[in-house]
A = this chain, B = another copy of it.
Amino acid sequence: MTSYVRAMYDFSGEPGSSEISINVGEVLAVTRTDVGEGWWEGKNSQGKVGLFPAAYVEVMSAAEAQKHNHQPAVSSPVAVATAATAVTGDSTTRYDQTADEYDDWEDDWDDDNDTYSEIGPSGAAKTNNHAPTATALSHSASNYDNKNLPAAPMDDTISLASTAAPSNTTTLKKSGMFGKSSDSYILGLGNKEKLSDHEIVHIAYVDNFCYWQTNHQRYSVIVASPKKETKFKGMKTFIAYQLTPSFNNISVSRRYKHFDWLHERLVEKFCLIPIPPLPDKQISGRYEEQFVEHRRVQLQEFVDWVCRHPVLSQCEVWHHFLTCNDDKMWKSGKRKAERDTYVGVTYCWAISPPEKTLLPSYVDAQMESCSLFAHTMDIAVRNLLALSNDTTKRYQTQCKKEFQRIGDGLSDLAKALNIDERRAPSKSTALSESVGRVGGIFIGIGQLFGDQPKLDWIPFSDRLHIYRGVLNSFPDILSTHKGAMQKRKECERLTAEQKMSNAQMTDVNRRTDVISYAVMAEMSHFKEERDTHLKQALKSFIEEQIKFYSNVVNRLQEAYRQFD
């Protein structure tokens, strides 16, 4: 059936581009939903066809569309998948065929995309821009219930197209889209009834301090033994890391691209929880032993962070990633995750907040402080990272060379002394011998300097990398929260104008409180992280420096003994 949408916001198409301008209230016939990157194609009443942001429109109900169209929607330009097929995941539908095609992206994609460091059989990063859009659309077609609300009806699923866009980067457009998802949650739209008990996350509030409540057993996952694996009889090579969770002790093999896929899922699902970043993608040297081992350490940092998080560590996609060992299961789990509707602010339906109503002034103060903090800490972390980079280089080159130059200088001195000692040999231990040995010791100290960053600065900067990524997420989180608070004010105005009922307003307040609670719980968790993880990072860093300088002292003492 033909799908119609109504513009919720004005959008000015870029002149000379394939974009189309739309005005609030305008109805468009959707001609394509597979454009990608959050765009749809549609035809307006003047018959003009063009692209518009999917998040700027609401899908009209069949009844509405019919009213608007005065004709049965049969010969639609694009077949929108029904909720039924999307949820059951019936692979005979057109949508799922498409998804399966994307599952077959395999090696061509690897070769095209050199920024990825592995190549291999499963995972579906490339489908993200398409599949969730289709999912969202299909979902909206079935679950949209046209409630009698004063504000323009909105569907939470519309935002999925945008949350599925590449992670973390903030643009005005995208944050606007987040806002829409937020609005529909606040207004009580969406499929809250489908959540099972174990999916509900509780927030506790004790002594002005709120936190994610979790009764789950803590566990850890070891990322180990990166292996060079081959397929197609050695035609293709890739690196696979072995992940072993402590709760089952069964290893799974995962490549970087699986991590990348997982990361996108987490970013998509948890818009109020900063997802730690993966190690940077790397073009060259990806099979070099040192690089592979370093990436292993960085992935371990990522995994540790997720394991320590009370919400992330319990979520389904993460468990699927950690435990799935069967190819078919993997694919179905992957598809299920990609079709998850509790993503973005909609995820808040899964949050069970404390009873207490929050004072807006208190929340404002908290968020303001959080914003300042995230900004300030971000600067400090970036500064330390730059410093780490400089120091690492300096140790590996200049310091190493300098001590080696001293060593060489002393060796040359020893050679000179030896010439004179051969001229007139004496019985005492030759000074040239002592000086020569001291020269060797200094060369060894140079080597210590060269090797040191691997032990202090590089691990420290790996941890700082995580913090940078996490801090990078806060502006989006706070902006989502701010959007929610604006929506709440809007509703308050509507209530004052008696366009919204007090009961509805109470629900709106309750739901915005959930968002506030979630951000504050996350802030608490981040503080706890710092108090343990960052503290440990600093301790390890200093401990390694102590070991290093103690080692230098030991070497120098050995040098000193040469003269005894």
Question: Inside 8 A of A420's CB, which chain B residues have their CB?
Answer: 369-370, 373, 377, 523, 526-527
The reply to whether B553 and A549 contact each other, CB–CB distance below 8 Å, is yes
Q: Which of the 9-residue segments A103-111, A431-439, A491-499 touches chain B?
A: A431-439
Q: A209-B424, A412-B383, A560-B543 are in contact. Are A438 and B538 (CB under 8 A)?
A: yes
Residue on B with the closest CB to A371?
A: B419
CB pair A424–B546 under 8 Å, yes or no, is: no
In the complex, A550→B394 CA distance in Å? 21
Verify if A324 is at the interface (C-beta below 8 Å from B).
Answer: no
- Give Cα A377–Cα B421 distance, bound, in whole angstroms: 12
Q: Which residues of B lie under 8 Å from residue A195 when comparing CB positions?
A: none
Query: Which residues of B sit under 8 angstroms from A421, Cβ to Cβ?
Result: 527
Closest to A534 in B: B431
Residues of chain B contacted by A409 (CB below 8 angstroms): 380, 383-384, 387
Q: How far is the CA of A467 from the CA of B313 in the complex (A)?
A: 68
Q: Smallest CB–CB gap between A400 and chain B, Å?
A: 13
Chain B residue with Cβ nearest A375 = B416
Q: A560 and B539: CB pair below 8 A?
A: yes
How far is A415 from B379 in the complex, measured between Cα atoms in Å? 11
User: Could you say which of A383, A552, A556 has the most chain B C-beta atoms within 10 Å of its C-beta?
Assistant: A556
Contact between B431 and A379 (Cβ–Cβ < 8 Å)? no
Which chain B residues lie closer than 8 Å to A365 at the CB level? 423
Measured between beta carbons, the chain B residues less than 8 angstroms from A543 are: 560
A212 CB to nearest chain B CB (Å): 14
Would A376 and B416 be within 8 Å (CB), given that A366-B423, A423-B370 are in contact? yes
Quick check: is A478 within 8 A (CB to CB) of the other chain?
A: no
B542 touches A556 (CB 8 A): yes
* Residues from chain B with Cβ under 8 Å of A535 in the complex: 431, 434, 563
Using a Cβ–Cβ cut-off of 8 Å, how many residues does chain A contribute to the interface with B? 65
Determine if A304 is an interface residue (Cβ-Cβ < 8 Å).
no
Whether a CB of chain B sits under 8 angstroms from the CB of A381 is: yes
Q: Does A286 contact B (CB under 8 A)?
A: no
Give residues of chain A (397-455) contacting chain B, Cβ–Cβ below 8 Å.
Answer: 398, 402, 405-406, 409-410, 412-413, 415-417, 419-424, 426, 428, 431, 434-435, 438
Query: Which residues of B have CB within 8 Å of A387?
Result: 402, 405-406, 409
Contact at B556–A424, with CB atoms within 8 Å? no
The prevalent SS among residues of A at the interface is helix
Q: B376 and A531: CB pair below 8 A?
A: no
| A381: chain B residues within 8 A (beta carbon) | 413
Hey, which chain B residues are within 8 Å of A416, CB to CB?
Answer: 373, 376-377, 379-380
A431 to B394, CA, bound (A): 29
A17 on the B face (CB < 8 A)? no
A388 CB to nearest B CB, Å:
9
Report Cα–Cα, A372/B410, bound state, in Å: 17
Q: A373, B423: Cβ atoms under 8 Å?
A: yes
Is A323 located at the chain interface by the 8 A CB criterion? no
Of B373, B412, B530, B556, which one neighbours A549 at CB under 8 angstroms? Answer: B556
- B residues less than 8 Å from A366 (CB atoms): 423-424
Q: How far is the CA of A380 from the CA of B410 in the complex (A)?
A: 8
Give residues 486-533 of A contacting B (CB, 8 Å): 523-524, 526-527, 530-531
In the bound assembly, the distance between CA atoms of A560 and B549 in angstroms comes to 14
Is A545 in the interface zone, CB < 8 Å from B?
yes
Interface string of A348-391 (1 = CB under 8 A from B): 00000000000000000110011011001101110110010011
A322 CB to closest chain B CB (Å) equals 30
Q: List A182-216 residues whose CB lies under 8 Å from chain B.
A: 208-209
